[in-house]
Each structure stands twice: as C-alpha cells, then as structure tokens.
Structure 1
C-alpha cells in the first residue's frame, strides 16, 4: 500500500464524501480521476455591443511555451475571455505594453485591435481543471478552449515552427492541440500518437497496443466508427498520484503519468493501463451529451466500458473486475446515503463511484431481462442514436433501461439499498454485507476522532500492532498522534469488532471510552452518541463481465 492507501482519514467539512477519496487518492481503486470528456466552457453573459464580433487567435511556439496573438476587427479596451471552473490561466503573461490580465479579461489602457500573451507550461495541475499548456516531447499541448473569447466567435490558428506540425490542423478551439516536430508523430492503426522522450519505450508500446485494441473493440461493440484521435503521452511532475487522462472535443487525448515507474510497467500493471487507455478511448464515442446531463453518466459509462473491455481482453480477470464494481458500489452507497442519484450533487470521485455502479446495474438488468440478448453496449448504442441531434441525456437513459435503473435513479428511502439488492437477485447478482476487520476498526476509531477533533483533517495509520492517530489539529485528549493498542478494553488490531462493540456500549450510555497507548498510558475520552453500524456492500456473485463467457 502507498501512504495514502494506509491512512484512513476524514475531513470534518465534507465528512462522508471526501473520506474514501482521500483513502484511495489517485494511486489505487478505479484509477485516475479524470475531468469530464469533451467538457465545454460554461457560457457567460453576452458580450457588450461594442466588443468585437470576430476574433482570430494565432498561436506560435517559442522557447518558453507559446505566444498567442488576438487580432480584433474593431478596437476595444477590454477583451473578456471565457470563464469556466474547468479552466486555468495561472501561467499566462501579457506581452503587450499597457495591457493587464484581470479576472480573465485582457484590459488595456487604450482601445486596441491586437493583444499578445505568452503562455508557459502549468507548474501544478489541479483536479478536474485542464492545464492551459503542458509539454509533450519536443512540442507542447495547448488547451484551446482557454483561448476563447466571451460571447464572440474566436478562430484559433496554429502556426508550427519550420519542420513542425499542428494537430489538429483546424478546430483547436474545441480541445487539446499539439505543436511540435513532424518526426515525433507516430502513426498507429486508426490514430496518431506523440510520446515524450522521457516516456520509456515499453510504456509507448503498451499504450499504442491498448489504443489499437480499444478503438477496434468499441467500433464493433457500438456498431459505429469512432473518430481517429491523436494520443499524447507524457511523464509529468505537476501532480501527485499515478496518472490522469483527458479526452477533448478536438479528438486529441492527453495521457499524463506522474510516477516514473510507469516507464517500465510491471505485469501487474496491465489491467490498470488497459482500463486507463480504454476509458479515454470510449469518450470518443460518448463524449457528446445534452446540456444538463450529469457527468456521472458519461464518466461512469467510460469507466465501466473500460472495465468490461479490459476483462474481455484478459488484462483483468472477471474476479478483479467484480472487485472493482464492488468498491464503486459500496462507495456510491456511502456517498448517496438516502439521496436519489438523479437528484444528488456529486463531485470528484463520487462521479465515478456512482457512475460505474449505475452502469453495472443497467448492464446486469439488461442482460437478465433479455436472456443475454442486450447488455451495456446495447444501451449505449441506443443512447448514441438518440443523441445524434444534440447529445444524449438522462431522459434518454430512462427511456432505454428498466425499473431497476429507475430505482437507483429515483429511490430515496434508507431501505432502498436492500430493495436494490433484492431486485438484482433474479438477474444473477448477489450483494452481501461484508464488513471486514478494517471496517470495524475504522468505524470505532473514526467515531471517537469525530467526537473530539474540532477542525481540519484527521485520521489514522494502520501499523503492525497498533494504530497511529493523525491528530495534529485540535483533538483534545487524543491530540498529538498517540499510538493506540487497545480501545474499550479490546485489541484494536486483533479484535476490532469487540473494540467497536465496546465503543458503542459506552457511547450509548454517554460514558467515557478508554484508549490504551503502546507506552501504557490510558486516555479517557468522552463520547455522547453511539457510532453508526458499519456496512460494506460486496458483489458476491454476478454474471460474467467478459462477453466471451456469455
């Protein structure tokens, strides 16, 4: 386990939603937390009447990144750029004298028809935000939507250096674009690829092979050709974690790895890489959604399709695939609680947890109800057909799925999870409560931490014979990171269920709970309410994920 994996943590402000995310981070579980494919910058207010009605944005490479020149048909002293939570302009520097970048607008001391900025590669990545610029080999990858002008049609023109190419040749304002030397472009079967020199040949080989398989696989399963993408592969130091992928409307996919170990993938990494590449590839088909469609529909669709595709290819076993489904389902249960999926506001990894859970439920129901004639790819074929005129929607999903999917979308009662398990049983899925020792240990310790830590994050690390509390903040009698061996008279490592029962009994009576440290000290902590009973959903049996096993 990594350090993030070993630490069980929780943030008081968003206790249930963030806890499991921090446990997993980007180094385990389902893989990368990627931003929505084909995300469109949010529209802002209409431009004032005196703003230009057409803008040409010319991009040229230079030593520090790119230079960008905005050429306007009429003079203005303020050029407002599109604003969106998905965009950043941290590394933008204005070149034109007398012009400043203020609140995502280029503001001039006097009206002008030309503005110039220099953009350097982003030094740090932020989750679910696209970097304006990042290096890929001897070239740079630019996120075109960051150049757009508010309320105005802006055409981005890429002018590569001598001997260089621009990918895509046009439409860069719709997504990623790459500027670099022509001899760096690798031609694959149905796609182009650029790999940084720092990327090891083994990783290049694996990504190229996975992309070729994934593109052909989805074209067959969805019964429609996909778009021919350009895939950028780079090793970055701008973020912690394993990897991150973005698929954009310009048909350029950026795969960024943050740990040098990926340069020489081990055999055990095959499943993670297969799913990573297949996830982003699926967005070439399912990226276009109707306005207002929740991101868990297309992100969950891509992640679950990648999971099935990886099992079909033998990169993951059925058991490994179902283990990941179980993890997503249980985390979604925790994130949603009694809320309906359709009404819940989800963020971060919750989008993937619940998105995959929904897709597996839809797949299981479709296959069971049709005696194996329909599956998740049948559902996506229907969705894509219905969305040809402007993107598919949640209403389209309702129209092509059955009552079990409707239940996960709309049921809000606390008992809804048990009803869901019962509804899936006739379709060959068995879901059980499988709380393990770590679940009992976490429930006991986190409850006591929540009773006493007043701010910030807190948690604990599991060691060989004790738990080490992470209580550097204001945690009263359990502050200072004590090392705990016994809770309520029971060994927290060897008998965590007994420790939980002791905490529950003491707290129900509003008595103190005694924690014993490795050094023999006894800490008496007050407790005014009993802990919640831990629940861990596990898919104990399911129809085979591999379609070859049908």
Structure 2
C-alpha cells in the first residue's frame, strides 16, 4: 500500500510540475554585518513581488538597497518594471510578543539563523529556489535535503507554513554533531541551560518515539541564543527540519534555580513534542485549530515529566490549565479565539481525551497513534475533526466536555463542568473567581466586540490581539488599565467600572502608564460574570 501511494504521489507531482507556469524566482542569501543580504532574481520583469509570508515582525528590519523599489506588508514594488533587487535584513534578538517567527536572529558574533519563509515568493505565482552562500569555513545547516539550497515545494498547507524552516548560516566550527542531533549554541548561553537542553533530548525523544511509534526522518537541529534584553523571558520555535530555536532573554537565567530549571525542561519537552505532532505530520487547522497541536505538545510534555522525572504534579498541572483556559475564554468558545487560549485550553482538552481513553481501557497515546496514521494516509495532515471523532467516539461524556470549551459560549457553561466530569469519576469543585479572573473577563468582553480574539499577558501590561484596520483598537494596543483602574492591581475595580459603563452604553477607555495615547470604545452589551476557580480533588 505504501509503494502504491508513493507511486501515485509521484505521478501527481509530475503532472503538477509539467503544468507549472509560475514565474521562476531565485533568492541568494549571504551574511551581512548586522544580519543577512538577499539577492532576488526574477525570470521576467514585474512591477511588484508578493512574498508568501508576511508578519509585522519583518516590518522595520528589511531595507531595499536597490533604488526605486519599496517594501511594505510583504510586497516589493516599483513604478517601473524590475527583475532583480537586493535587500539587507537586520537581525533582531529581542523578545517577540505574539506567535511570530523572527526573520533573522544572531547566534554568536558571526552566526545567523534565517527563517526562509520571509524570502519565498507567493506560492501561486512564483516557483522559488533559496540558496545560501557558504564561503570557506562557513556552512548552512538545516535545509530539507542538506546542501546549501532548496526549492520551496508547492503545498496546500497554510501560507505561514510555506518554506517554514530555520536555517543556520555561519561558522561550521559552531556546530556540535551527535548521533541524535546537531547542537549550535550562542557562547553567551549559560552552560547549565545548554546542558539541560542536550541532556533532555535523548530520553524525551525516545519517550515520544516509543509512544507515538514513528521515528523522525531527519536528525533535529537544536539552536540556542541569548540576549540580555527582556527580563527573564524564554521563547522557542520549531520549524520544518525538525529545527528548533530556544531564545533566552535576561541575566536572570545566569542563575540556576528550581523554577528556571523547571521552565527550561518543560519548554524543551513541549518543543521536542512538536517534532512529531507538527512536523512528522502537521495539523491542517493551523490557525483555528492551534489548540490541537499546541495543547497536544503541552500534554505530551506533562506525561513525559510524569514518566521520566517521576513528577507527581499531574493533578495540579491539569487544574492550572483548566483555570487558565476558563480565564482566557470567559464567555467565548475556543473556536472563536486564538493566541494565548490555545495552550491551556488545548492541554485541558487533551486531559479530557485521556480520561475518555482510560475509561475505554486504552492508553492516551493510542489516540494519537491512530490520528497520525490517518494523517499519513491524508497527505501528512490531520485535523480537529479527525481528533474529535477519535476522542469522542466511545465516550459521549468526552464529547460534552470538548464541546463545552470549543463550541459553546457564555459563562454559565463553566458551572456545568463539575457534573459532567463526575461521569468520568473526576471530582471538580467550583469556587468563587480569583481576582485575575475579573481582569480576564472584562478585557475579553470589550475586545470581543471590537475585532479582538485574545490578549497576551506581559510584564505588568497586556498586548491586545486585535485585527488591523478594524476600529479604535486596531494595531494590537499595549495597555494596563481600563477606565482608570489598573488591570493588575485593581482588576475588580476595573470590572465594576466597565460593568457600569456597559449598562448605559458608555465609553470604555484603555490606557497604559507613561503612554499618552488612549483607546476608547463603546460598550453596549451586559458584562458576563467571570468563570469560577476550579479545584481538582480526585486523581482518576
């Protein structure tokens, strides 16, 4: 069957290639003093070139060095036809607020990590080949088939997955090759952090391989960078390869503490899980279904911790995830939100699925083994619909719990959850809301009616996840107060003030200390009460 599928896929690809009338685009990337330089060659004259991947993070880092051309919102354009141009991209090692991939990252003094998607032409119009210049003692590592160049494959995957691969460009001597993985670390990274990442790789990858039943096709590339910027932050991104970048921010990481160690270990296992659930196969619902692969990686990491570290915090972990999920969603269904809610809500849904599997006499990973088997027969893609069919088929109660989070709205639904979970022999108590729940409820209520679908909690302020060109809250405002009440020190006061405004179709004003600008919108809907605070009392 596999041989037949491979032959069929070859014939289909050959037919597509013969009919491919897209414009040839060659992009040559080389090192530059503060980032990389890219030379674009187009097979014919054009007046604009639309790039496949567009992100706010690229704005301000790209500089067109060819006279007469401009770059904006992922498009290079000119009043007169052109077929070549040059770009210099400045590396950025600062913290990224939101689900965006940095375009170019410095690693050490002369190494660069390049996210190739930014340089690919729009798939429907351009047949792109990206190559990396590797003069003496310089190498490119992480490309799909090795070497120093690759052709961007035409795919039906979401646009932000096209050519989605981190590539290392820099001194060959920086790479540490092992049978398991290739490691490249910025010399500024604290040795204890790098040791944790490397020591975790072997048992974690073995745990996932054993439970999922799939071996990785290629050796992972694991890179680590350090910046003394943002206080105590830690980010990580996985791309095709599988390649991963761990980005460490702040001098607080120089000291090895129990909390720092736990954060590093959990994040590493989460990212290593993505080698399977995002890149051995991928979720076809990358945006609306982000909760599936992100929540899956969270829960897989929790199970790895329980098995490999003898961690007995499983009950408190799922309790924490459930409370964060309720706080992020408040009255919204998960199907209408993205961003921060994806992680805790996705982890909670995986817990529900685990409960159902055990009630049916099966292990949790058997669900994922079957899901990935279906993905293999579906062009390497799985979906939310596939997952829900498998998770819900034997236990109607699991269907009810997943639907409560994904499909239903309103805050009253949260008070139904203890009775539903009791059918799975789980004792869950609902207590009055925590203070932070009032902040989450009031922010979500107001931005929901103003093109918003979530927010990111930063160090004493929030970044609203709002759409562009959509009213007063456009542009992802950074705020810390509503109607004069600080959302961190006086969340109940903010809730009460906005509740009063909403009853009279009044104004709600967002602000941030030290920032002159404010953002004001009308509120004409009653404010929902916050969800309860859950306590998980019984481990099934």
Superposition TM-score, scaled by structure 1 size: 0.70
User: Counterpart in 1 of 2:205?
Assistant: 215
Matched, 1:384 2:372: yes
User: Counterpart in 2 of 1:129?
Assistant: 100
User: Counterpart in 2 of 1:312?
Assistant: 307
Shift of 1:68: 0.5
User: Counterpart in 2 of 1:508?
Assistant: none
Distance 1:310 1:189, change over 3 A: farther
Shift of 1:368: 2.2
| 2:363 corresponds to which of 374, 385, 388 | 374
User: Counterpart in 2 of 1:90?
Assistant: 60
Q: Give the greater-gyration-radius structure (CA).
A: 1
Higher relative contact order (CA 8 A, sep 6+): 1
Q: How does 1:428-443 map to 2 (within 5 A)?
A: 428-435=425-432, 439=434
Structure 2 counterpart SS, 1:110: strand
Matched, 1:198 2:188: yes
Distance in 2 (CA, whole Å) between partners of 1:440 and 1:248 is 37
Q: How does 1:248-327 map to 2 (within 5 A)?
A: 248-287=239-278, 288-291=282-285, 294-314=289-309, 317-319=311-313, 321-327=314-320
Q: How does 1:463-542 map to 2 (within 5 A)?
A: 475=484, 532=529, 535-542=532-539
Contact 1:404 1:420 in 2 (8 A): no
Contact 2:321 2:347 in 1 (8 A): yes
Shift of 1:409: 3.4
Distance 1:355 1:99, change over 3 A: same
Q: Deviations over 1:140-164 (max 9, x none)?
A: 1011001111221211111123211
Deviates more, 1:135-144 or 1:532-541: 532-541
Deviates more, 1:191-200 or 1:148-157: 148-157
Matched, 1:351 2:342: yes
Distance 1:160 1:471, change over 3 A: closer
Contact 1:192 1:230 in 2 (8 A): yes
| 1:143 corresponds to which of 79, 102, 115 | 115
Contact 1:142 1:177 in 2 (8 A): yes
Distance in 2 (CA, whole Å) between partners of 1:115 and 1:272 is 44
Contact 1:143 1:176 in 2 (8 A): yes
Distance in 2 (CA, whole Å) between partners of 1:58 and 1:185 is 22
Shift of 1:123: 5.7
Structure 2 unaligned segments of length 5 or more: list them. 1-20, 153-162, 447-454, 461-478, 498-525
Shift of 1:57: 0.8
Contact 2:325 2:348 in 1 (8 A): yes
Task: State the Cα RMSD in Å.
Answer: 4.1
Shift of 1:265: 2.4
Shift of 1:202: 1.5
Superposition TM-score, scaled by structure 2 size: 0.71
Distance 1:108 1:162, change over 3 A: farther
Contact 1:340 1:409 in 2 (8 A): no
Distance 1:118 1:425, change over 3 A: same
Q: How does 1:154-193 map to 2 (within 5 A)?
A: 154-168=128-142, 169=146, 170-171=149-150, 173-193=163-183
User: Counterpart in 1 of 2:502?
Assistant: none
Distance 1:260 1:532, change over 3 A: same
Structure 1 counterpart SS, 2:382: coil
Contact 1:361 1:404 in 2 (8 A): no
